[in-house]
Amino acid sequence: MPELPDVEGFRRELARRLPGKRAHGVDIRDAGVLRNCSARQLERAVRGHRFSTPQRHGKWLLLPTDGPTLLVHSGMTGRPYYTRVDAATARDDRLIIRLDRGELRYADQRKLRGIWLARDAAAVKQTICPLGPDALTLDRDTFFELLRDTRRRLKPTLLDQRVIAGLGNLLIDEICWQARVNPHRSLTDLEGGELRRLYTTMRRVLRTSVRHGRVPALRNWLTRARDQPQPCCPRCGTRLRRVTAGRTTFYCPRCQPAR
């Protein structure tokens, strides 16, 4: 499920335990999660190095050491976590890095993305390169600048990590719904007020979601409604529209009219 709030939750959790820990060994249980190196290369590169504070950009999690940096992209099902050595392993635990105290693990059911090894800052940049500014620290002027001058539709643009990094399917549907803007609108047709509303709504939705470590299914949120058998708008009760083109989009035809 990971979007920005989930990844920020992973980062927060690891930040409590990982800094200062030294990697002693690597246990690759499924090399399919390694995207740019072999198991042997990872082991050789990482062993003996001490982790520092985890960073995040968009949906990327950066795990720097005093040597190389591990780059984690969770795809739809990945989850990096810290645990005690004696904790039971699950089938989807693909990688275990043994530390001088505890273990860093990466669990992933579907393995759509995975883990990259970056030997220096340049390699980090190269791997996560064409990424827009992080959604959490994006200021309003930049937001306007990024979304001006394009005829693209709102949702695919917000979904594009090269424009803004961190927003995913759930977040974007939630933001568009709370801001009462139809996700299929072309950006050229949006008025200044609508764009301002999208920005302030994005800030609010992100702040709340980051606090929860996920996009929460709160009582008055679209995210709760979309999981129900007969999804209705929490604001006006209208039956929600469900569009499947690529990712599934939910919106309220009454609160978010097409033009």
Least separation in angstroms between residue 99's CB and DNA is 26
* Beta carbon of residue 146, minimum distance to DNA (angstroms, whole number): 12
**Total of residues contacting DNA (CB under 7 A):** 32
Residue 93 found at the interface with DNA (CB under 7 A): no
Q: Is 91 in the site for DNA (CB under 7 A)?
A: yes
Considering the complex, state which of residue 104 and residue 187 has its C-beta at the smaller distance from DNA: 187
Active-site residue flag, 247: yes
Q: What six digits make up the tokens of 76?
A: 């739809």
- Which residue number, 97 or 164, has a Cβ lying nearer to DNA? 164
Q: How far apart are CA 175 and CA 197, in angstroms?
A: 9
Q: Applying CB under 7 A, does 76 fall inside the site for DNA?
A: yes
Site for DNA in 210-249 (CB under 7 A): 244-248
Rounded (10°) angle between helices 192-212 and 169-179: 130
Q: Is 47 in the site for DNA (CB under 7 A)?
A: no
Q: What string marks each residue from 178 to 197 as x (binds DNA by CB under 7 A) or -?
A: --------x-----------
As measured in angstroms, the least distance from the Cβ of 109 to DNA is 5
Q: Are 103 and 83 in contact (CB under 8 A)?
A: yes
Segment 128 to 157, residues that bind DNA, using CB under 7 A: 150-153, 156
Interface with DNA, residue 36, by CB under 7 A: no
- What are the residue numbers of the active site? 2-3, 59, 247
Interface positions with DNA (CB under 7 A): 1-3, 6, 32, 58-59, 73, 75-76, 91, 109-113, 150-153, 156, 159, 161, 168-170, 186, 244-248
